[in-house]
Chains A and B, each alone.
Chain A
Amino acid sequence: MWPLPDVLLHAMHFHMWLDALFKFQITGTYIVRLILEGLLIGVIYALMALGLTLIFSVLNIVSFAHGEFYMIGGYVVYAILHHYKGFPGLLAIVVAALVTFVIGAVFERLFLQPMAKGQVERPSEYAILITFGLSFFLQFVMLGIMGPFPKKAPRFWSFPKIDLGFIRTTKTTLFLGNIPLSGGRIFAAIIALLALAAVLWFMYRTWTGWALQAVSQDRNAAAVVGINPLNMNTLAFGMGAMLAGLAGAVLVTVFSWVPWVGVPASAKSFVIIVLGGMGSIPGSLVGGLILGVVESLGTGLFPDPARAQAYRDVFGLVIFALVLWLKPTGLFGRKL
């Protein structure tokens, strides 16, 4: 039998989707579930994008190695929990944050500081090449150390037994009514929320946070009031790397980890900062949530469920293209 042309296949899938919708297989509950799942993952996207925003706004460069810090954060937690049974999981996440901070700060001092000091002839091109270089370097180093096969860290938490009628738990799942939510994602989102709150507090309530903001707004004006922009660069890159590392550290118990796991994560961060507005902290938070929800709804409502996951990243890229086309400054960005 001749295969059906693609266009007919798509029409059939769309028909099946409409059919499902009208038979109430796609219910309100299902939509709510998709939105909640999207928000949970969106918080982690926001955490990662906040790191990229911090780097962009203070150093004025886009780090193409951002996803690799996410990857390293996950591997650090995996390695610790795999090799040291009984090691506290939360402590492993803290170690991952510290490791990624140190790698980021050392890299900035060694390779980006010459650019900030004006010792590099073509800084923009240099920044692109050096962060791409770091990205490949970290991927291949981790490929050498961890191998190409997927790893997943063991779960180190479980829900206490709760039964309040509407809210119920099993060890790994939370039920809101009849909506099941993955405990892994909830746990990751809670850690991410705490980290976001800590970073926002740091940025808006401490001197170092003001100094970072001052440098991001006007380097020379900050320097003439005594703030050392070079130190702020190191801190911002270290913190940015740490936030990506944290995002990876909390997700390694949810997803399988491979050395190139950071590539799509990095792409999502770029989508978010474009959506939210380059350099905008509120933009990266809102952008992360929007991307999470759009991806979740897009995948969950895709006419062909068998292909839905494969198209997950496409939704983000569609947003990326639309924002660049319709509102290049993003939601909270300033005029270009």
Chain B
Amino acid sequence: MSQNGTIRLEVRNVVKNFGGLQALAGVSFTIEGPQLVGLIGPNGAGKTTLTNIITGLLKPTKGEVWFNGRRIDPLRPYHIARLGIGRTFQVTRAFRRMTVLENMLAPGLVKHPYMSRKELEKKALEIMKFLTIDHLRYEMGSNLSGGQQKLLELARLLMLEPDLIILDEPFAGVHPKLQRTIYGYIQRVRGEGKAIILISHDMESIFTLSERLIVLNFGEVIADGPPEVVKEDPQVIEAYLGRDDEEDLI
């Protein structure tokens, strides 16, 4: 957290070009304090690119990213993670040739290098219990179903105790029962005073969970505000449903 105890992420006029393709065209927004922000937009809008820039996996062509008073866009991903930004991936990336417990302990020891193994395992087990994967702790990551791997990724994230969590499509391809567990997870994490950026194509969950929505389209922020307001925004409706005149052309 910042010196005054609040979480603050500032994305300042971020541009990202891939050769001749502009993925982000000057994105700016600020997230302050613990809040759950939904980041939505049609496919190719630039959501994942933006996430990759915030977490250091991509460098912006232009613009800056600041986190808790520190400029983070020149930093490497591991450094940004240690500063308190955690993320999951759209396609799950659990360490498949390590056990569930080892998947948990690896980031745990980054955060708490001097914590005893026993204490760390206890902490890991609590998180695993909450996410209903404690019975799988000695299973290899590759033996888990897609949904279980999602839960493992979420659990692993908590071991790092980040202040800001970016969840990229946490509900995609997950059994409804596990989806409810993920719902619970998000609400619990939000209740712990963390900021969350939730990216999802599942509009129902996005509108239910988010306190604020940022809508990206063609690499630009086209709407930013409370879900009920954003929902009625003509630009958003157009981005998702298309224009009437387009329909006429078909």
Binds A, one of B95-103, B129-137, B200-208: B95-103
Listed A/B pairs (25) with beta-carbon separation below 8 Å = A210-B98, A210-B106, A211-B106, A213-B95, A213-B98, A213-B102, A217-B96, A217-B97, A221-B89, A221-B94, A223-B78, A224-B57, A224-B81, A224-B86, A225-B86, A225-B106, A225-B110, A225-B156, A225-B160, A226-B78, A226-B107, A226-B160, A227-B78, A228-B79, A230-B76
Which B residues touch A224, using CB under 8 A?
A: 55, 57, 77-78, 80-81, 86-87
Which A residues touch B111, using CB under 8 A?
A: 226
Q: Is B11 an interface residue (CB 8 A)?
A: no
Q: How many residues of B contact A (CB 8 A)?
A: 31
Closest to A204 in B: B102
Mask: chain A, 224-247; 1 = CB below 8 Å from B; 0 = not: 111111100000000000000000
Question: Do A225 and B105 form a contact, CB below 8 Å, given A213-B95, A217-B95, A217-B97?
Answer: no
Q: Is B82 an interface residue (CB 8 A)?
A: yes
Closest to A219 in B: B77
CA distance A210 to B141 in the complex (A): 13
Q: Is A97 an interface residue (CB 8 A)?
A: no
Contact B57 A221 (CB under 8 A): no
Q: Is B243 an interface residue (CB 8 A)?
A: no
CA distance A230 to B94 in the complex (A): 20
Contact A213 B78 (CB under 8 A): no
* Residues of A bordering B, CB below 8 Å: 207, 210-211, 213-214, 217-218, 220-230
Q: Report the minimal beta-carbon distance from B115 to chain A, rounded to whole angstroms.
A: 11
Q: Is B93 an interface residue (CB 8 A)?
A: yes
CA distance A208 to B130 in the complex (A): 27
Q: Is B109 an interface residue (CB 8 A)?
A: yes
Per a CB cutoff under 8 Å, which of A207, A217, A223 touches B105?
A207
Contact B93 A220 (CB under 8 A): yes
Per a CB cutoff under 8 Å, which of B57, B80, B102, B157 touches A220?
B57
CA distance A297 to B106 in the complex (A): 44
Most chain B beta-carbon contacts within 10 A, residue among A211, A218, A221: A221
CA distance A50 to B57 in the complex (A): 30
Which B residues touch A213, using CB under 8 A?
A: 95, 97-98, 102
Q: Report the minimal beta-carbon distance from A81 to chain B, rounded to whole angstroms.
A: 39
In residues 43-95 of chain B, which contact A (Cβ within 8 Å)? 55-57, 76-82, 86-87, 89, 93-95
Which B residues touch A218, using CB under 8 A?
A: 93, 95
Contact A226 B110 (CB under 8 A): yes
Which B residues touch A217, using CB under 8 A?
A: 95-98
Closest to A117 in B: B76
Per a CB cutoff under 8 Å, which of B82, B93, B110 touches A221?
B93
Mask: chain B, 135-176; 1 = CB below 8 Å from A; 0 = not: 000000000000000000000110110000000000000000
Q: Report the minimal beta-carbon distance from B144 to chain A, rounded to whole angstroms.
A: 14
Closest to B111 in A: A226
Which B residues touch A229, using CB under 8 A?
A: 78
Contact B77 A220 (CB under 8 A): yes
Closest to A213 in B: B98
Which A residues touch B81, using CB under 8 A?
A: 223-226
Q: Report the minimal beta-carbon distance from B138 to chain A, rounded to whole angstroms.
A: 13
Per a CB cutoff under 8 Å, which of B76, B79, B96, B107 touches A225?
B107
Closest to B96 in A: A217
In residues 14-50 of chain B, which contact A (Cβ within 8 Å)? none
Closest to B97 in A: A217
Closest to B77 in A: A223
Question: Do A214 and B98 form a contact, CB below 8 Å, given A207-B105, A226-B107?
Answer: yes
Additional 11 contacts, C-beta under 8 A, given A222-B95, A228-B76: A210-B106, A213-B97, A214-B106, A220-B57, A223-B81, A224-B57, A224-B80, A224-B81, A226-B82, A227-B106, A227-B110
Q: Report the minimal beta-carbon distance from A205 to chain B, rounded to whole angstroms.
A: 10
Q: Report the minimal beta-carbon distance from B113 to chain A, rounded to whole angstroms.
A: 8
Most chain B beta-carbon contacts within 10 A, residue among A211, A222, A225, A228: A225
Most chain A beta-carbon contacts within 10 A, residue among B55, B87, B106, B159: B106
Q: Report the minimal beta-carbon distance from A114 to chain B, rounded to whole angstroms.
A: 14
Q: Report the minimal beta-carbon distance from A203 to chain B, rounded to whole angstroms.
A: 11
Which A residues touch B98, using CB under 8 A?
A: 210, 213-214, 217
